[in-house]
Amino acid sequence: MHDAIPTVTLPGGEDVPSLGFGTWMMGVDKSVAKVEIDTIRLALDLGMTVIDTAEMYGDGGAERIVGTALKDRREDAFLVSKVLPWNASYSGTIKACHASLDRLGTDHLDLYLLHWRGEYPLDDTVAAMEELKAAGRIRAWGVSNFDIGDMEELLEVADGKNCSVNQVLYNLSRRGIEFDLLPWCQEHGIPVMAYSPIEQGRILDNPELIHIAKAYQATPAQVALAFLLEREGVIPIPKTSSPRRLQENREAVDLDISEDDWARLDAAFPPPARKVPLEML
């Protein structure tokens, strides 16, 4: 038996599991489509129902794979997609959302994000998000790669306060948001979706991380995910196309790391001592 996945409450009052699933790099290589589809379906079975995708990933290919995986079980997922900044005018956002819905084979998204800030005024994108919401095409909207100044600006825009999440780069080796953005989001009740939560694998050979993982008969990826799961209002969305690694990631929820070992991790991956501009991948 594994521990239940804890939940995070969105500003609208809905609880979602705090461990999700990413799809960047999926839907690119047709020869692995079946295993990708099976892995997404397994994520739903394991309760990792927040499925994150984007029109950008695989040029729509990731959304198509997700759509195939969710066929006949759309209601099991909390489906998230994103509009590219150069599509994020008022009419462009609405058009891009409909194109995503077509690829995903669904009539609504649970959450729609502005992928990162571009040239279009936030007012236009937010107005389109609100229009999509009123039409039932999305249930909520949010942003991605917004630093604290962007978030403050967003809250000044009409309906900007309806923002439901900010999805940003956050993992053991990228802790800059702990200085200001994360506490700001926590104070405002806006959950942070942590992307690249295992730094796309680059932190997994860190000797201290390996050492701590061994002490819990766990893997470095599990400890890296446990670090994020420990934080209030944070939803890591690890990507894997491997059913075995998906199981492994799911079991990160069971880890109970001691205060001493958190301190060791802080020494190996120091928290920020000053403002660090938000990093992006």
Residues involved in catalysis: 57
Return the number of the residue (106 or 249) whose C-beta is nearest ligand NDP. Answer: 249
Residue 51: strand pairing partners: 21, 79
Q: To the nearest whole angstrom, how small is the minimum distance from the Cβ of residue 250 to ligand NDP?
A: 10
Distances in whole angstroms, Cα of residue 37 to Cα of each of 69, 124, 176, 243: 5, 35, 34, 10
Residues near 17 by beta carbon (within 8 Å), at least 6 away in sequence: 5, 6, 7, 8, 47, 48, 49, 50, 78, 235
**If we measure between CA atoms, which residue out of 45, 54, 119, 46 comes closest to residue 88?**
119
Residue nearest to ligand NDP according to CB distances in the complex: 22
Q: To the nearest whole angstrom, how small is the minimum distance from the Cβ of residue 278 to ligand NDP?
A: 11
Q: Can you spell out the DSSP letters for 205-261?
A: T-HHHHHHHHHTT--HHHHHHHHHHTSTTEEE--B-S-HHHHHHHHGGGG----HHH
Return the number of the residue (64 or 239) whose C-beta is nearest ligand NDP. Answer: 239
Q: Which uninterrupted H or E stretch holds 267? A: helix 259-268
Return the number of the residue (7 or 247) whose C-beta is nearest ligand NDP. Answer: 247
Return the number of the residue (63 or 261) whose C-beta is nearest ligand NDP. Answer: 63
Q: To the nearest whole angstrom, how small is the minimum distance from the Cβ of residue 281 to ligand NDP?
A: 5
Residue 272 per-residue DSSP state = P
**Which three-class secondary structure state does DSSP give residue 65?**
helix
Q: Are 235 and 19 in contact (CB under 8 A)?
A: yes
Q: To the nearest whole angstrom, how small is the minimum distance from the Cβ of residue 134 to ligand NDP?
A: 25
Q: Which residue ranges make up the site for ligand NDP (CB under 6 A)? A: 22-24, 52, 115, 144-145, 167, 195-201, 204, 221, 237-242, 245, 248-249, 281
Q: To the nearest whole angstrom, how small is the minimum distance from the Cβ of residue 99 to ligand NDP?
A: 18
Return the number of the residue (129 or 198) whose C-beta is nearest ligand NDP. Answer: 198
